[in-house]
Structure 1
């Protein structure tokens, strides 16, 4: 059964634009510090590279763990007090956090700032819940797609701007990131209305807000649980890019940092185009489930091309194919929001963020290990593409799970049409 949010309290359309801008600016601020944070850590350690690399791994782990813990807390909190205060306070916290990192006297302060940043950035879950509040069910996947495009924009523009600012001063990107977040918080105070009516709010309890309880919510509905499993497999497969792409391209094709940067920018631009413009049209034509299948097929094809590419030119062919993988996520989230009550949308998005956090913990280990095993073979060898082949296997497993459910649904409809079922024919939903 589809559970729809109430339509009576519908914020004006402009508020969705503000949430998109909020996500884009937060990701821009996040991206700005990417090129300079490792160098700042290295500077605090006297320029020693190996120790800096090992310590920076702890920074990544801290970020993932705090997001895993914080996402369900902020999601449940937004279900209790509304989306507006959580979004605004998170923006404020991020701004203050970047200020702390800008004046940090030592590496311990930077690590503490990274932990606070991971918690505050968990507000992305609230942004997704806001989209669920203010969009109708049949337009929700498109709304999530626009948020995905905002993510892509932040990851495209942020590192580029951070590199320029960092060339002036390593701490300048942190000051700019703080300014973006604080300005966004002030702007939101004046233009962002609440999206969740008081009669749809649920009391906050730590029993609901812990990560295990948040993940348990995904099991409360069979359909949601199945899609969540597929979403986890897809998220885990996607970790191959941040985990090994830079190392892979440098080792196999001898690309320099500039070429790799252009390639990553190409991935971001193509992903933004798919999620910002193509998702709505494809979902309207195919429905959520078949759109998910199309996205997984393209993701598997793209990952396969990355893995077998005999030359760097093939990577440019693989990028637009892999970008169509972006059809999957918005369609999957749109489908799940239709099975969860409006009062639990924050908890749902918190659970999904925690699920991605788990994939973020597993993925780097899985793909760096498979990359190390592949490059240990004398080359050039197709084994060098081992991590991308692992990603293909994960996506095929996800595709089988979705296709099996679609086939079962089709058989059920066929039996009903031929008169084998009792009672009236079931209504066939596009999803």
Structure 2
């Protein structure tokens, strides 16, 4: 079953990541040609502030891209626990198929998005449908025990690594083959390929996946299951880890500190990460193909570090490794911010030093922070601890892109990255103080 989860996730992530290197070019396309009027309507709303701040027109695409990124993540934050509750009552397979069909529908909308309004609708449908990752984590919990769960989670990590290495590169290649200066629909080819992969995923799950939650273990009613799901949406309860009971005061305080650190890290990190493609597009003139190669460099570096070192870190050194990863994030974004300045010599060298440190820090932080959080709670509450941690991460990713994109739009990329890097010392300090 773990292998089936791996194949399904790989198909999904290959399709999902194709759009990453294309997003700046797509925003520029809708900025220059949008017969729905939505892009122009949004421009009119920010025009007053744009004139005051002296923001170039081309930076408007960064602002609107950030809103779309945050909207997608926010919808995922809300929908994933609800789909999890649905699966607790009716089984994993129906819920996974509904998610995958919804994802396929979003690619259909992307393929026909000749205007900005349809593209926005595609992102909304995609965000609401993106509950399959959480559902597959529940599947692994269904079919594994404490001794084998780590191996199952490792397969999920490998699927993410391979997807984020190959997906952006494949999307960029197909976009390059179909791109011409005159073409207004060059995105149809990568969107159609994403749709084909998504449909293959639906068919694969329908045929190969066997239900892992027997009737006798399912929730008795939808209402009780949904009420538990809201524990992963209520922001105050999330930060308090209210769903985790029977912790002593000291353990509860430490777990909350880990959750706050994780949220602040991902809030700052995800915003700067999201605007990275816009920075390389504006500052270096990167094409989608160059963006794809950049993502491949980041993904390969992460995969080598995670596979060769991070997974072998002993438990007693996890706290040290988390601190190291958080500390590396600071210079990584400082180097990228300096590279964005036109007057900086050896800009490309600075950029790739920053990208290497970015990949290295990413390889350390998320798995080590997850391991730290997993040490808390009784055996039957580990799932709740990890579920709340994932929800905090999803909430951070829902807020980070829009804040960082607004800063990029108003004060420029260099200041945004360097100031953001300074703020990233806060989560490092918090985890340093947590024993």
TM-score range, shorter chain: 0.7 to 0.9
Pairing partner for 2:229 from 171, 191, 209: 209
Please give the TM-score of this superposition, normalised by the length of structure 1.
0.73
Alignment of 1:351-390 (within 5 A): 351-371=388-408, 375=412, 384-390=414-420
Aligned residues: 382
What is the rounded CA distance, in whole Å, between the counterparts of 1:272 and 1:40 in structure 2? 33
Q: Give the 3 Å change call, closer, same or farther, for CA 243–97 of structure 1 in structure 2.
A: closer
Residues 128 and 349 in structure 1, CA contact (< 8 A), matched pair in contact too: no
Q: Provide structure 2 residue ranges, at least 5 long, that are not aligned to the other structure.
A: 44-59, 179-185, 245-251
1:96 alignment partner in structure 2: 105
State the SS of the aligned residue for 1:256. Answer: coil
Q: Give the 3 Å change call, closer, same or farther, for CA 295–131 of structure 1 in structure 2.
A: farther
Q: Give the 3 Å change call, closer, same or farther, for CA 357–269 of structure 1 in structure 2.
A: same
Cα displacement (A) at 1:115: 1.5
Alignment of 1:30-429 (within 5 A): 30-34=16-20, 35=22, 38=27, 41=30, 45-46=34-35, 53=61, 58-103=67-112, 107-137=116-146, 143-144=152-153, 146-166=155-175, 167-168=177-178, 169-196=186-213, 201-203=218-220, 204=222, 205=224, 206-210=226-230, 211-213=232-234, 216=237, 218-221=241-244, 222=252, 223-249=254-280, 254=284, 256-257=286-287, 259-282=290-313, 284=314, 286=316, 288-308=318-338, 311-325=347-361, 326-337=363-374, 339=376, 351-371=388-408, 375=412, 384-394=414-424, 396-406=425-435
Cα displacement (A) at 1:235: 0.8
1:380 alignment partner in structure 2: none
Cα displacement (A) at 1:320: 3.0
Residues 74 and 394 in structure 2, CA contact (< 8 A), matched pair in contact too: yes
Cα displacement (A) at 1:306: 3.3
Cα displacement (A) at 1:313: 0.8
Cα displacement (A) at 1:385: 4.9
2:12 alignment partner in structure 1: 26
Cα displacement (A) at 1:403: 2.7
Cα displacement (A) at 1:344: 6.6
Please give the TM-score of this superposition, normalised by the length of structure 2.
0.73
Cα displacement (A) at 1:314: 2.7
Cα displacement (A) at 1:268: 2.0
State the SS of the aligned residue for 1:239. Answer: helix
Cα displacement (A) at 1:232: 0.7
What is the rounded CA distance, in whole Å, between the counterparts of 1:136 and 1:80 in structure 2? 22
2:247 alignment partner in structure 1: none
Cα displacement (A) at 1:45: 0.8
Q: Give the 3 Å change call, closer, same or farther, for CA 372–96 of structure 1 in structure 2.
A: closer
Q: Give the 3 Å change call, closer, same or farther, for CA 299–69 of structure 1 in structure 2.
A: same
State the SS of the aligned residue for 1:155. Answer: helix
More divergent stretch after superposition (48-57 vs 166-175): 48-57
What is the rounded CA distance, in whole Å, between the counterparts of 2:120 and 2:409 in structure 1? 28
Q: Give the 3 Å change call, closer, same or farther, for CA 56–391 of structure 1 in structure 2.
A: closer
Q: Give the 3 Å change call, closer, same or farther, for CA 57–387 of structure 1 in structure 2.
A: closer
State the SS of the aligned residue for 2:130. Answer: helix
Residues 70 and 399 in structure 2, CA contact (< 8 A), matched pair in contact too: no
Residues 75 and 347 in structure 1, CA contact (< 8 A), matched pair in contact too: no
Q: Give the 3 Å change call, closer, same or farther, for CA 138–336 of structure 1 in structure 2.
A: farther
The superposition leaves residues 367-387 of structure 1 with CA deviations (integer Å, 9 ceiling, x where unpaired) of 3455467649xxxxxxx3542
More divergent stretch after superposition (149-158 vs 104-113): 104-113
Residues 214 and 351 in structure 1, CA contact (< 8 A), matched pair in contact too: no
Cα displacement (A) at 1:277: 4.4
What is the rounded CA distance, in whole Å, between the counterparts of 1:285 and 1:339 in structure 2? 13
What is the rounded CA distance, in whole Å, between the counterparts of 1:85 and 1:345 in structure 2? 25
Cα displacement (A) at 1:281: 0.9
The superposition leaves residues 173-212 of structure 1 with CA deviations (integer Å, 9 ceiling, x where unpaired) of 3332222122122222333344456665445433222353
Q: Give the 3 Å change call, closer, same or farther, for CA 41–304 of structure 1 in structure 2.
A: closer
Cα displacement (A) at 1:276: 4.3
Q: Provide structure 1 residue ranges, at least 5 long, that are not aligned to the other structure.
A: 1-14, 377-383, 407-431
Cα displacement (A) at 1:41: 4.4
What is the rounded CA distance, in whole Å, between the counterparts of 1:80 and 1:352 in structure 2? 23
